[in-house]
Structure 1
């Protein structure tokens, strides 16, 4: 039937995301995506136009899921516990897999072949969303008075550290090192209450 997808789109998009995550945006071709999904290249082009559009489609789903998971981790009582749970989630995410898969957004941000404005806008959307979640959590009553800097500044610092953790993990491959750094940072940002 004309206009109807002849493949399981949800499954194909999950496979596409996996390829971008493993190989990076610049190193991935439409042929790679067709091979991974079992969908002919022409069908992928027809459904999504090009690699950039396909990446933006799967990245939007990734962003939504990542932010939902982050929000769930930040929901627990007490800013210190919320931040520790949040960082456990981010560290577990980037160290998952064998070898560790790292971070899709940071991998893409450092890929010179992923510098197109729509991709940069998508990356900013994730980072801004994360910063917004952290700012909101750190603005709650249980955090007011405990922070050493205003909530928005603390959120910006915390987001920056999530990106730095990706680099440190790729060099040291030591999640306990990341957790120790995070604990020290939280000790600096959140007074004992």
Structure 2
């Protein structure tokens, strides 16, 4: 990026991320971002290029935050605690709001279902995050306390969990019922680790 930025980059990128997260890629314009951040549209173009380039930079920050949170959840001492914490984190993330009563949903799934966002560079970024989550889950499920109790091989169980958490996004969008999402998560945990019974919170 040429030149010196005349704004707080962390603040600008965080505000822009919340805007993409709440409204979606297609419904967010560079003018919207300019208004939300207080930075002139021309300055945004000069600093980051077009909207897609800015989104990809923001998504890298989102990816780093998300994966750090997943690692923290999966570091729990038992397999059921680790999965319960990961699922709870997933639900809390997609049901949270930032200043209004509407939940933000999931930035990854919202972008994946946006036809205007299906450029290959964006698809690659989305796949990268989902693949990284799947690998972290597989690594945790391959540990001795989990693998001997799994109903599926670690790789298949990890893939199922990632897929089901994407489905939770749709259910939240339709029903707006956080308690119902937790019931689904508890059922999933019992399917993956059938001997664990009710997950410990």
Same fold (TM over 0.5): yes
CA distance in 1, matches of 2:154, 2:147: 9
**Equivalence map 1:153-164=2 (5 Å):** 153-164=156-167
Q: What TM-score, normalized to structure 2?
A: 0.93
Question: Structure 1 unaligned runs (5+)?
Answer: none
Secondary structure of the residue aligned to 1:91 is: helix
1:185 to 185, 188, 195: 188
Alignment-derived partner of residue 110 in structure 1: 113
1:176 to 161, 179, 201: 179
CA distance in 2, matches of 1:28, 1:191: 43
**Equivalence map 1:89-108=2 (5 Å):** 89-97=89-97, 98-108=101-111
Alignment-derived partner of residue 199 in structure 2: none
Cα RMSD over matched residues?
A: 1.0
**Equivalence map 1:66-145=2 (5 Å):** 66-97=66-97, 98-145=101-148
Structure 1 range deviating more: 48-57 or 181-190: 181-190
Secondary structure of the residue aligned to 2:181 is: helix
CA distance in 2, matches of 1:34, 1:182: 38
CA contact (8 A) 2:73 2:85 kept: yes
Q: What TM-score, normalized to structure 1?
A: 0.97
Task: Tell me the CA shift for residue 191 of structure 1.
Answer: 3.1
CA distance in 2, matches of 1:106, 1:69: 18
Poorly superposed stretches of 4+, deviation over 4 Å: none
CA contact (8 A) 2:147 2:153 kept: no
CA distance in 1, matches of 2:12, 2:185: 36
Question: Structure 2 unaligned runs (5+)?
Answer: 197-201
Secondary structure of the residue aligned to 1:36 is: helix
CA distance in 2, matches of 1:150, 1:124: 22
Task: Tell me the CA shift for residue 148 of structure 1.
Answer: 0.9
CA distance in 2, matches of 1:37, 1:149: 47
Secondary structure of the residue aligned to 1:149 is: coil
CA distance in 1, matches of 2:23, 2:104: 10
Task: Tell me the CA shift for residue 182 of structure 1.
Answer: 1.3
Alignment-derived partner of residue 12 in structure 2: 12
